[in-house]
Each structure stands twice: as structure tokens, then as C-alpha cells.
Amino acid sequence: MTGGLVAFIAFLGRFGANLVDKLLRLRSASPNSDEHNRQCARCGIRCVSGRHVRIVSRTMSLRQAPMRASGVDSQTAQGGTRSVDLKNIIFDKATIATLTVNRPAALNALNREVLEEMARVIREVRHDASVRVLIVTGGGDRAFVAGADIAAMAKMSAVDGLDFSRLGHRVMESFEDLPIPVIAAVNGFALGGGLELALACDLIVASDKARFGQPEINLGLIPGFGGTQRLPHRIGHNKARELIMTGEMFDAKTALELGLVNQVVAAGDLAETARKLAEKLAGKSTVALRQAKAALRAAFTMEQDAGLRFEQEAFGIVFGSADRVEGTSAFVEKRPPKWQHK
């Protein structure tokens, strides 16, 4: 055996040993330990209950990640999701994009097909840097989303029900994890899965005709798309317990008083109000908005110590951006900033 080959084999042995050692140390570190957090920080991911989840790029630029298999072909990805591909969703792709759940005859109820179409749209939005804000609403004038499709659920086995809940969770998390602001424009009933969809959005603007609730208890069920976790975070545990355990519905005024929604407007003004809010957000630095959303998300998913460290990292990222230079310069020079979004 030649000396070069022997040296190469020895190198492979050392490389493999080092890799195994790193994996063992990462696995052994507790989710909230300093060692674990240091390793999370180095690779640019956060840890939730021991599971690594990417939340923010460690790089300063906003380069697009490669397209993943998403059920949308390359031609569609370039020009938007085609209507022939979506039966229950209307997707208007633009700087301010709109996703409309369009099953008005069923009060926009969520079934497996609707959830899968939502997931496809969200994947496209995630990989399109031209989209800066997403508005989510319901078709017709009666419902945002009136809940999950109960007729379909009645035919499910226990295994089917668990699988349906897992699909719903994945879709709601995909809304929540989008790096851009997501606005729910609630135009009617937002019950069960509909309220859970609104809770997965960053901001909620409601029509004065909107009605909210988690009525699953009346069907012998509990919220299955994240309501037991996100509702207490929005309105506090005490009131969330009451609403989930009684299944009572409440109006838009009550939702505003509880801090669930950000604004309540006349039904005829809902679309315009949501649009104006989206335009205000689209006029901010994309870099700063993304890091602000990531840090706010960390407040929900991390212990406070880890969240505070995460904020420091996010602050460092924005401080190194061209937009920070432009923003501070514009302030000093008393002129509007011209964001480069990098």
C-alpha cells in the first residue's frame, strides 16, 4: 500500500471520528443548555423541544434558496400558481399577494385538498423574494373559514383523524414560519380551523360581521390545528380556557377587546383596510421585517433566555445590512429612506 493511500485512509478515520464526536455532543446537549445554543447559533438554526428548526438566515443577503419539490412545476414557479392547479384556492401573486380560500358553498371549510393547496401556495411564496406581504381571506361574504370539513371528518378513522391533524399543523406552521408578514382579513365566520388559521397569521383585521370561536368541544373534539397553543398566547390562558372548554362564539368587538384582532372595520372597508396595512408593511425594510418576525416568533417558541440571545443575533444581522446604513443615514439627513432590501 502506498504512503499516499495510507495517509488518505488515516485522514478519513480522523474526519469520521470528529464528525461522530460533534454529533454526540449535539445530541447530549440539553435543548436549553449553553452548549446547545452555541451550536444552534453557529449553524443558524433554533431548537424547539430538542428539534432543530431553521428560523433565520445567518447570512446578510436574501438570496433565494433552491426550489424544492412542491407540486408546482418550474413554469408555474416562474409565473405564479396556475388556476388549473388550484380548485379551492385563489392565489393572486404580487408584491402584496392574496390567498383566498374559495369554497363559499361550504363556508370555506378546510378539508385535505384545501390544506394541500394552501401548502403548495405557501411554498411558492416562500421562494419568491418579490412577495413582501401575504393577505389571507375567505371567498364570499359569509365566512373567512368556518372550520374543518365536518362531513369529511365524520367518515375518518382514529388514524385518519390523527393524520388530518398533523397535516393541519404543518400547514398552520408554514404560515407562521413565512419570513414575510401575513395578514388575516376575516370577513365572516372564523371558527375552529378558521380561527386557528387566523392565529397562524401575524396580524388580524376583522369585519364587524366576523364571528370567532373554537367550538370543537360541542362535537366531542378539541382544537386540532394548534388552537390550544396559539389562542392562550394571543389572549391569555384564563380566557382561552373558557372559550375552548365552553365552545362559545364571540363577535368582532369582543375579539378586539381580548386583543385577538388588531382592527375591526365595516364589512365594506375590510379589503381596503387590509390592503393599506399591507402597503405600510411593504414599505419597510425587508431585512428588518424578517428579523423582527423571527425574533417575535422566538418569544413564542423559546425560553426567555434563549429568546434574548436570539434577539441579539437578529440585531447583529440587521446592523450589518445595507438597509441599516440607509435608514440611519436618512434619519440624520432628514429624508425618507430608500430601502435596498439587503
**Which listed residue (117, 124, 176, 196) is catalytic?**
196
Return the higher-pLDDT residue of 60 and 295.
295
Contact 172, 198 (CB under 8 A): no
Q: Say whether 196 is catalytic.
A: yes
pLDDT 10s digits, 61-97: 323 333 333 333 333 334 444 444 899 999 999 999 9
Determine whether 173 is an active site residue: no
Burial class (CB in 10 A: 0-12, 13-18, 19+), 59: exposed
Asked if residue 206 lies in contact with residue 250, where contact means CB atoms within 8 angstroms, the answer is no
Res 1 pLDDT > 90: no
Q: Report the CATH architecture of 85-282.
A: Alpha-Beta Complex (3.90)
Q: What is the model's pLDDT at position 85?
A: 83
What is the rounded average pLDDT of the residues 197-217?
98
Which pLDDT value is given to residue 46? 40
**Residue pair 72/116 in contact by the 8 Å Cβ criterion:** no
What is the per-residue pLDDT across 29-72, written as a single tens digit (0 to 9) for each? 444 444 444 334 333 334 433 443 433 333 233 233 333 333 33
Q: What's the CA dihedral at 102, 106, 112, 115 to 10 degrees? A: 30
Contact 177, 297 (CB under 8 A): yes
Percent of the chain with pLDDT over 70: 75
Higher pLDDT, 66 or 318: 318
Q: Distance (Å, rounded) from C-alpha 140 to C-alpha 291?
A: 35
Catalytic residue among 216, 248, 272, 326: 216
pTM: 0.76
**Mean of the pLDDT values across residues 306-332?**
95
For residue 265, pLDDT over 90 is answered with yes
Question: Mean pLDDT throughout 139-155?
Answer: 94
Percent of the chain that is helix, strand, coil (3-state, to 5): 55, 15, 30
Burial 177-208 (b: 16+ CB within 10 A, else e): bbbbbbbbbbbbbbbbbbbbbbbbbbbbbbbe
Residues sharing a CB contact under 8 Å with residue 140, sequence separation 6 or more, in sequence order: 104, 107, 108, 187, 188
> What is the reported pLDDT for 69?
34
Cα gap 227→168, rounded to integer Å: 11
Mean pLDDT on 312-333: 95
At 221 the pLDDT is 97
**pLDDT > 90 in the chain, percent:** 75
**Minimum mean pLDDT range among 9-13, 188-192, 303-307:** 9-13
Q: In 10 A of CB 160, how many CB atoms? A: 13
Query: Is 173 exposed, middle or buried (CB count within 10 Å of its CB: 0-12, 13-18, 19+)?
Result: middle
Query: So where are the chain's domains?
Result: 85-282, 285-319
Phi then psi for residue 105, to 5 deg, are: -65, -25
- Conformational region of residue 206, where left means phi above 0, alpha means psi within -120 to 50, and beta covers everything else: beta
Report the chain's mean pLDDT, rounded to a whole number.
83
Q: What's the whole-number mean pLDDT along residues 226-254? A: 97
Cα 24 from Cα 36, distance rounded (Å): 11
- The DSSP line for 70-130 is -S--HHHHHH---GGG-SSEEEE-SSEEEEEE--GGGTT-B-HHHHHHHHHHHHHHHT-TT
The model's confidence at residue 126, banded by pLDDT at 50, 70 and 90, is very high
| The one-letter amino acid at 151 | A
pLDDT tier at 17, thresholds 50, 70, 90:
very low
Greatest C-alpha distance within the chain: 83
